């Protein structure tokens, strides 16, 4: 059936209360990285109620819902894990109740990105109820452990052929919050640590030791001064670097530390590489003797599958003239009768694998605003949820 914007809008209005109720349910289920099983079971139930053709898990624990068996292969990607709640006392409401007030849903994961997850499922329900069919296979991947190491779980699934419906994908859509913009790129990221070593001594006799914290100080200053000289890209903007955590090893509060570790967040613009960024930081170490390395992620999934990945994630950009961007823009304009906004993300997503590593044409489109992610004011509006549901339902037929 050809997309009918008015009909899609009316059906979306009918389904919106159910979408909101479902979203509140999954917000109420805490799902930090590595502990996603309960929320996935709730999503699985909703996928089956929505009439998806296939619903299944892979060995890592990612969940999939599939509609259709056509020749055009379309993958929707959304993560179900969230960051934690380390400052619960700063919230004005319980972050796990899914508070619903004045057409806004609040709580941990509302924007990042359970709002999109709920909209994916109900976009699929719209497809089923309105018979928005076409020559396409649409697989929705509800992935784990993205917050801790983006690209890892979906990367394992793609490389091993675990995504049901195809081993190769023509188009990928990421549902990360975009304020309903069509996103076609993001900077990359490499996570590093630098370690300096000294000699322990009693705190009353600092001259008898070699303070590892003092050894780290020139490197910290060098990192701060590096930012203005980092390269820039016309679309993605500048690379950036920040010292984000510092720890030391010491026998007591009265002892000179003999080891200091600094964590470094380096954002990569186009043309930069993780090894190049590591060498750049190593070049700042000078007499500090700091050893610099790229971090490795190594954690078990909730299903007991060991997930490992080097924390080196490339930047990616899809050309504005690519058919996926053009069809997304056409879909948006037909549904909402105004121009779309095409932009970039400043944060990192699973696109570092789908486009950055695998070279799969990838865009982003999601409900919620980036500024609310990971904050005590996390929220998503009903207006955004309705629009995302409609967009997710209408796009596959446009691409087929």
Active site residues: 81, 146
User: Cis link prior to 334 (omega < 30° from 0)?
Assistant: no
- The answer to whether 36 and 302 have CB atoms below 8 angstroms apart is yes
In angstroms, the CA 76 to CA 373 distance is 20
In angstroms, the CA 11 to CA 3 distance is 12
Angle, helices 323-336 vs 382-399, to 10°: value is 130
**What are the tokens at 353?**
């694998």
**What are the tokens at 246?**
């510092």
In angstroms, the CA 183 to CA 111 distance is 16
Q: Which residue has the tokens 């919050």?
A: 177
Q: Which residue has the tokens 């961007």?
A: 325
Q: 282: Cβ–Cβ under 8 A, 6 or more apart, which residues? A: 290, 292
Q: Which residue has the tokens 């590591």?
A: 278
* Cβ burial 193-221 (10 Å sphere, 16+ → b, else e): bbbbbbebbeeeeeeebbbbbebbebbbe
Pairing of strands 316-317, 182-186: antiparallel
**What are the tokens at 202?**
């009693």
């Amino acid at each position: 059936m050809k997309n009918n914007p008015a009909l899609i809008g009316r059906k979306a209005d009918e389904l919106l209360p159910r979408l909101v109720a479902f979203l509140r349910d999954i917000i109420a289920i805490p799902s930090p990285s590595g502990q996603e099983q309960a929320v996935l079971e709730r999503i699985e139930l909703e996928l089956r109620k929505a009439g998806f053709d296939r619903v299944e898990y892979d060995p890592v624990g990612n969940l999939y819902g599939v509609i259709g068996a056509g020749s055009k292969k379309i993958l929707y990607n959304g993560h179900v894990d969230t960051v934690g709640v380390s400052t619960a006392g700063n919230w004005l409401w319980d972050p796990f109740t899914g508070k619903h007030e004045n057409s806004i849903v609040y709580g941990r994961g509302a924007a990042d990105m359970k709002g999109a997850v709920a909209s994916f499922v109900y976009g699929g329900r719209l497809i089923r109820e309105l018979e928005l069919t076409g020559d396409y296979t649409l697989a929705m991947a509800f992935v784990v452990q993205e917050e801790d190491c983006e690209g890892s779980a979906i990367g394992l699934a793609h490389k091993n052929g675990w995504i049901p419906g195809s081993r190769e994908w023509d188009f990928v859509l990421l549902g990360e919050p975009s304020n309903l913009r069509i996103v076609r790129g993001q900077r990359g990221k490499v996570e590093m640590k630098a370690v300096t070593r000294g000699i322990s001594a009693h705190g009353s006799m600092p001259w008898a030791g070699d303070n590892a914290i003092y050894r780290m100080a020139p490197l910290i200053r060098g990192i701060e001064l590096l930012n203005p000289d980092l390269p820039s890209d016309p679309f993605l903007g500048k690379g950036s670097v920040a010292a984000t955590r510092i720890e030391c090893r010491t026998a007591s509060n009265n002892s000179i530390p003999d080891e200091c570790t600094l964590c470094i967040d380096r954002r990569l613009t186009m043309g930069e590489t993780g090894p190049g960024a590591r060498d750049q930081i190593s070049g700042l170490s000078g007499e500090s003797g700091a050893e610099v390395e790229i971090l490795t992620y190594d954690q078990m999934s909730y299903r007991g599958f060991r997930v490992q990945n080097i924390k080196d994630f490339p930047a990616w950009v899809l050309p504005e003239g690519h058919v996926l961007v053009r069809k997304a823009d056409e879909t948006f304009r037909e549904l909402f009768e105004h121009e779309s906004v095409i932009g970039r993300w400043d944060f990192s997503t699973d696109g570092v694998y789908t486009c950055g590593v695998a070279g799969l044409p990838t865009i982003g489109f999601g409900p919620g605003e980036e500024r609310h992610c990971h904050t005590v004011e996390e929220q998503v509006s009903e207006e955004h949820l309705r629009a995302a549901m409609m967009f997710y339902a209408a796009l596959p037929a446009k691409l087929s």
